[in-house]
Chains A and B, each alone.
Chain A
Amino acid sequence: EAEVAQSPRYKITEKSQAVAFWCDPISGHATLYWYRQILGQGLELLVQFQDESVVDDSQLPKDRFSAERLKGVDSTLKIQPAELGDSAMYLCASSSSGTLTYEQYFGPGTRLTVT
């Protein structure tokens, strides 16, 4: 069964350093999402792509976060510089725009710890 792939699974970095996460969605899924989940809290949408275009990045802290999906397939989320408050699980999800429900399939996540 096709899955959303994310790497790395775990990342420890010092504050002020740069960090990047990678996501490979399910083949053929045009919509890709990046979420942040602080421990014990709900999911927060950071950015949504439709193919290579950003649909919604209203919650993305653009002074330090950037996201790209250059060829409309895999995506990279970058934080520079990282802050202590960025410690969280970063989840990627994808969905097919060919279905009415836009069901999202989530990857395993990248757990970031900023020290």
Chain B
Amino acid sequence: KNQVEQSPQSLIILEGKNCTLQCNYTVSPFSNLRWYKQDTGRGPVSLTIMTFSENTKSNGRYTATLDADTKQSSLHITASQLSDSASYICVVSAHAGNMLTFGGGTRLMVKP
């Protein structure tokens, strides 16, 4: 069964600090892995998409890594801001890319 596990479930950090969110998956055959940011009460917004051949991708202060061998991904947030407070969702695609498995998300709170 395809599964995506995220950790931690929730995280509180101080503004300006860095943090790393984890995503482990058992999805086969792997197509791509995405990280989404979801603000409270809003729809998710894509941060990064990585295919099998990519092991790192950045989007501003967000850097995602992918280890296809260990089936792990991480999302690193640098110099956190209050606006980073949100849920971060890891989504893994199988087959042709249109069969998705969602992780439960990590709820991040950045405090001043």
Q: CB within 8 Å of B: which residues of A?
A: 4, 31, 41-45, 48, 55, 89, 91, 93, 95, 97, 100-109, 111
Query: Quick check: A42 and B89 within 8 Å, CB to CB?
Result: yes
Judged by a CB distance under 8 angstroms, whether B81 is at the interface is no
Within 8 Å by CB of A109, from B36, B42, B45, B46, lies: B42
Within 8 Å by CB of B44, from A41, A97, A106, A111, lies: A106
Q: Answer whether A97 and B102 are a contact pair too, CB < 8 Å, given A91-B43, A103-B34, A109-B42.
A: no
Q: CB within 8 Å of A: which residues of B?
A: 31-32, 34, 36, 41-46, 49, 51, 89, 93, 96-98, 100, 102-105
Contacts of A102 in B (CB 8 A): 93, 96-98
Contacts of B41 in A (CB 8 A): 89, 109, 111
Within 8 Å by CB of B98, from A31, A42, A91, lies: A31
Q: Which interface residue of B43, B49, B93, B103 has the most chain A CB atoms within 10 A?
A: B43
Query: Quick check: B93 and A101 within 8 Å, CB to CB?
Result: yes
Give Cα A48–Cα B98 distance, bound, in whole angstroms: 10
- Beyond A42-B89, A95-B98, 4 additional contacts (C-beta under 8 Å) are A55-B98, A102-B93, A105-B46, A108-B43
Q: Which interface residue of A48, A89, A100, A105 has the most chain B CB atoms within 10 A?
A: A100
The residue in chain B whose Cβ has the minimal distance to the Cβ of A99 is B97
Q: List 18 A-B pairs, Cβ < 8 Å.
A: A42-B103, A44-B102, A89-B41, A91-B44, A93-B43, A100-B32, A101-B31, A101-B32, A101-B34, A101-B51, A101-B93, A101-B97, A104-B46, A105-B46, A106-B44, A109-B41, A109-B42, A111-B41
Give Cα A37–Cα B62 distance, bound, in whole angstroms: 25
The residue in chain B whose Cβ has the minimal distance to the Cβ of A37 is B38
Nearest chain A CB to B33 CB, angstrom units: 10
